[in-house]
């Protein structure tokens, strides 16, 4: 027996409905995957920002200690290797102390970069004004 024209039309409609459902499911999965990738990138960016801020704080503590213990401390470039940091990239911190004998304050500039040398690295800086030891001793 030959299938009737009505049954063939019904089968075609079912096939089209199935393809439309499959297309909707693929679109939903694609948008979920894109959202997961975006969330992962955002999480890594926030982790890197936090790590950069922690490097900046550690450098400020390091500079304060070195200023107390070393008379002629003028600054340094401090490389922190990836195996010492949670995250996976190297960190780089530049500490610079500049002073003018005529000024009352020394300027401590700290620049932290994490991960160092990357296209997507985060860089933060802080400037502190410290009493100049030479003018403080004269007063």
**pLDDT, tens digit, 9 for 90 and up, residues 16-69:** 999 999 999 999 999 999 999 999 999 988 988 999 999 999 999 999 999 899
Q: Which residue has the higher pLDDT, 29 or 6?
A: 29
Phi then psi dihedrals of residue 66, to 5 deg:
-65, -35
Q: Are 123 and 111 in contact (CB under 8 A)?
A: yes
Q: At 135, is the pLDDT very low, low, confident or very high (cuts 50, 70, 90)? A: very low
C-alpha 43/C-alpha 33 separation (Å) is 15
Q: Could you tell me which of 40, 59, 35, 50 has the C-alpha nearest to residue 128? A: 59
Give the pLDDT mean for 62-82: 89
C-alpha 93/C-alpha 53 separation (Å) is 11
Containing domain of residue 80, as a range?
A: 5-138
Taking CA atoms, 90 is separated from 48, 56, 110, 136, in Å, by 11, 14, 17, 38
Number of domains the chain is built from: 1
Phi then psi dihedrals of residue 19, to 5 deg:
-65, -40
Residues 6+ positions from 137 with CB-CB distance below 8 Å: none
What residues are paired with 53 via a beta bridge?
Answer: none
Decide if pLDDT at 85 tops 90: no
């Amino acid at each position: 027996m030959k299938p009737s024209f009505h049954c063939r039309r019904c089968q075609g409609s079912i096939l089209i409905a199935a393809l439309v459902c499959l297309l909707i499911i693929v679109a939903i999965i694609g948008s979920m995957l894109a959202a997961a990738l975006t969330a992962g990138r955002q999480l890594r960016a926030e982790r890197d920002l936090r790590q950069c801020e922690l490097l900046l704080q550690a450098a400020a503590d390091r500079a304060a200690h070195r200023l107390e213990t070393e008379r002629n401390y003028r600054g340094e470039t401090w490389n922190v290797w990836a195996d010492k940091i949670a995250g996976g990239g190297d960190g780089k911190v530049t500490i610079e102390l500049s002073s003018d004998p005529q000024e009352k304050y020394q300027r401590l500039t700290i620049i932290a970069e994490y991960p160092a040398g990357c296209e997507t690295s985060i860089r933060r800086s802080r400037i502190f004004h410290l009493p100049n030891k030479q003018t403080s001793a004269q007063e």
